[in-house]
Structure 1
Amino acid sequence: MKRSSKKVGLFCITELVLVFLITHFLILPGTYIPSASMEPTINSGSIGIMVKGILAGEYERRDIVVFIEPDTRSRLFCKRVIGLPGDTVAIISGKVYINGVELSEPYIGEAGTDVYGPYEVPEDCYFMLGDNRENSYDARFWENTFVSKKDIKGKVAVIWYDKKFCWKEL
C-alpha cells in the first residue's frame, strides 16, 4: 500500500513540474491585448495564448508577437512582424514595401497616406507594425525603431477570449 501512495505522490509532483515547465517556458496563457492597435485581427480586450521557446520557432513576416516595448521597456506590446533582419522597409502612401516590393496585407484596417522610412532592419532585430495603422503606436513612432530578438516573448497562436467570438486561430 505504501508503494502505491508513493507512486501517486511522485506522479502528482511530476504533473505539477510539467505544468509549470510548459506554462512558463512553452506557452503563456492569458496574454491580454489591451488596445485597438491590432484590429481588425485582434479586438481590444481580447485574451490570447502565446507560444514561446521551441514552440515559437523562428519569427517570420506576418507573425503576431508579444515583446518588450523598446523605448521605455516598461510594458509588453503585441504587434505584427513586418521587417526581418536585413530588410529595407518603406511605407509610401500607407503601403508597406519590403526591399522595394509591396507587401500584401489583407489583414490591415485603414492604411492611411503617410510616408515613413526607409528603415534598414539590423541583424537580430525586427520591424513591428500594428494592423490598425491609423491607431497604432508602433515602430514608425518609437525612438528605438527596432525590436531585438531577445526582447520578443513569443507568438500569439490563438485568441481564446473576445467579445465577438470564443476562439479564433490566427
Structure 2
Amino acid sequence: MERSGVEPDKAGSVSVKAKREGGFFDTVKLVTQALLIALVVRSLLFQPFNIPSGSLIPTLLIGDYLFVSKYAYGYSRYSFPFGLPPFDGRILGTEPKRGDVAVFKLPKDDSTDYIKRVIGLPGDTVQMIDGRLFINGKIVARERIGNYRDDEDTAPGTGPEIPMYREILPGGVSHVVIERYGDQGPWDNTPLYKVPEGHFFMMGDNRDNSADSRDMNTVGFVPYENFVGRAEVLFFSIDGAPAWQFWKWPNAVRWDRLFSRVH
C-alpha cells in the first residue's frame, strides 16, 4: 500500500515536469522558426529602412520608414546580414533602371547604407551646368511646378519656400526635385562624368543638399555589386519624433504618406 501511495505522486511529478519541459522547448522552437522566417524575408524579400536625412526631399522625408525589395536587382554579398555568405558579383541579377530610388552600400567603406536615385547608367555621361542636368550631352527636361516649404529647421509653415521642378529623365521617368540655392548651388556646375561599365551614377532629389555621385571623394560611381535593393513603399512616416513615442502619433504621424509607393 505504501508503494502504491508513492508511485502516483512520482508519476504525477514526472508528468508535470515533462509538460513544463515540453512547453519550454515548444516555445524555443516557435521563436527559432519565427527568427528564421524573419531572416529569410529580410535577406531575400524585403528589408525595412528609415530615412535620417533630407537628401531625397521631397520624394522622401526625414522620418519616413520604407520597405526595400531585395530581389529587385538580384543578390550580392551586401544582400545578406554581415556580408554573409561572401561571394563576388550578383546572382539572379537585374540591373537598376534610370529613375529607380535605390539603397546601396557606400563604395568608400562598403558598410554605410545610402539611398539615392539612379541617374546615370553604365557608359553614360552626366554633367550639371547652371543647375540643369545633362545626360549623354542632352539637357534633361524640367518644368517649374511651384515651391516646397522647408520647415525642417523652423516652426511649421514658417520655413523658406524653395523652387520645385518636375524633371523628366530619358526613358520618360519623371520625379520632383528642389533647388535650395537656385541654379547656382555648390554642385550645380560639375565636370563631365563618364560612368564606367558595371557602375551607376546616383543623385539626390534635394539637389543642393545631397552627398552623391557628383562628389567623387564621398560617393562617386556606385558598383552594381553594392546595390542592396529598390525602395518600394512607405509603411510609416513621422515628423519630429521617434517612431516608438506612440503617444505622439496622432499629431506627428504623416497619415497621408502611409502605404504610398516610392517613385
Shift of 1:55: 6.6
Query: Taking structure 2 as the reference length, what is the TM-score of the superposition?
Result: 0.55
Report matched runs for 1:142-161 at 5 Å. Answer: 142-143=216-217, 145-161=220-236
Tell me: CA distance 1:84–1:55, structure 2 relative to 1, closer, same or farther (3 Å). Answer: closer
Counterparts of 2:69 and 2:46 in 1: how far apart (Å)? 4
| Deviation at residue 52 of structure 1 after TM alignment | 1.4
Where do 1:5-154 residues align within 5 Å?
19-28=38-47, 30-54=48-72, 57-104=94-141, 105=167, 106-110=175-179, 112-113=183-184, 114-143=188-217, 145-154=220-229
Match of 1:62, SS?
Answer: coil
Shift of 1:15: 7.9
Instruction: Specify which structure has the higher proportion of helix.
Output: 2
**Structure with higher RCO (Cα < 8 A, 6+ apart):** 1
TM-aligned CA deviation for residue 102 of structure 1: 2.0
Number of residue-to-residue matches in the alignment: 158
Q: Which has the higher strand share?
A: 1
Matches of 2:134 and 2:73 in 1, distance apart? 29
- Decide whether the 8 Å contact of 2:133 with 2:140 is kept in 1: yes
Q: Distance in 1 between matches of 2:183 and 2:109?
A: 27
Q: CA deviation at 1:90?
A: 0.9
Q: Mind listing any 5+ residue stretches in structure 1 that lack a counterpart?
A: 1-11
Q: Deviations over 1:98-147 (max 9, x none)?
A: 10122242411116332112100001100001100111111112325100
Call closer, same or farther: CA 1:131–1:87 in 2, change over 3 Å. Answer: same
Question: CA 1:74–1:52 in 2, change beyond 3 Å: closer, same or farther?
Answer: closer
TM value normalised by structure 1: 0.82
Q: Compute the RMSD of aligned alpha carbons.
A: 2.2
